[in-house]
Amino acid sequence: MGEADKSYWLLSETSGIGETRDPRLRRGLPVFEGFRWLSAGWRDFWIRPASSLAYGIGVFLLSVAFVWMLVAFGLDYILFPALAAFMIVAPFLAIGLYEKSRSIEEGRRIGFASMLLARPRAGAQVFFAGLLLCMLVLLWMRAAVLLYALFFGVMAFPGLDHIVSMLFGTAYGWTMLVVGTAIGGLFAAFAFAVSVFSVPMLLDQRVDALTAMGSSMKLVWNNLSPMVAWGAMLLALFAACVATGLVGMIVIFPLLGHATWHAYRAVARSEGTGL
């Protein structure tokens, strides 16, 4: 059977890495192209900056309220996994920022209210994508709890005051950190691949959620070096937010939202892709 006659049915055949690679989806971008996206995002931030700042303040207050709720209800043992999981749902929360960058690109004026009421061209599919991302968050949270139980059994969570000494002062703690980082890295890589372009795509085009997520993964896979570097930049800036007690979210979250739109334009919207 020739290559042109090959067809795929359920589990009868699977595609390999060679077939996943698609020269049409390769952009030939420099490894650190993300700095140019950040620069473009910074320019968007300072065009009518009040709306971007208000958006950042809203995300900051939402994050603080969520952390307070975890501590108040005795769920502080999932605080660190929850902070990591924030990066999974962040692309969904940034839809209004994508809308502002798109409006700037098209020469339209947009205010804070219009950012909050952005109407994705994919309609309700964007909420389906958000639901899938939330389910991934729940899976990661459950995996984190099970991981703690595997290393420390039924030992009660020692509280935020003692967790650092337990993790860095015991062999079990170090081992859990290594294993947890590896497992969390797999979750993070998958979440990044399916969401980095899918949510902007759902705002910009009439596609369904699964197609957008699959397209996002293909684009990441075929532009791996710049996308790995971009993911590292996102992680570093999010770590800066955490280091400032989430206050940095006020500026950094809008910056990353605008920059992500420019990443989408550079990778997913290049001419001739059909995406």
Q: For each of the chain's 275 residues, which pLDDT tens digit applies? A: 444 444 433 444 444 444 567 788 888 899 999 999 999 999 999 999 999 999 999 999 999 999 999 888 888 778 888 888 888 889 989 999 999 999 999 998 888 888 988 889 898 899 899 899 889 888 888 888 888 888 887 676 776 676 777 777 888 888 888 888 888 888 888 989 999 999 999 999 999 999 999 999 999 999 999 999 999 999 999 999 999 999 999 999 999 999 999 999 999 864 334 45
Give DSSP secondary structure letters for 45-57: HTSSHHHHHHHHH
**Max Cα–Cα distance, the chain, nearest Å:** 65
Tell me the C-alpha distance between 94 and 4, whole Å.
42
Tell me the C-alpha distance between 249 and 63, whole Å.
9
What is the value of pTM for the model shown?
Answer: 0.84
Task: Give domain status of residue 22, yes or no.
Answer: no
Task: Give domain status of residue 213, yes or no.
Answer: yes
Task: Give domain status of residue 81, yes or no.
Answer: yes
Task: Give domain status of residue 6, yes or no.
Answer: no
- Domain boundaries, position 68: 28-269
Task: Give domain status of residue 230, yes or no.
Answer: yes
Task: Give domain status of residue 4, yes or no.
Answer: no
Domain count, the chain: 1
Task: Give domain status of residue 1, yes or no.
Answer: no
Task: Give domain status of residue 138, yes or no.
Answer: yes
Query: Apex CA 144: angle with CA 72 and CA 251, to 5°?
Result: 65
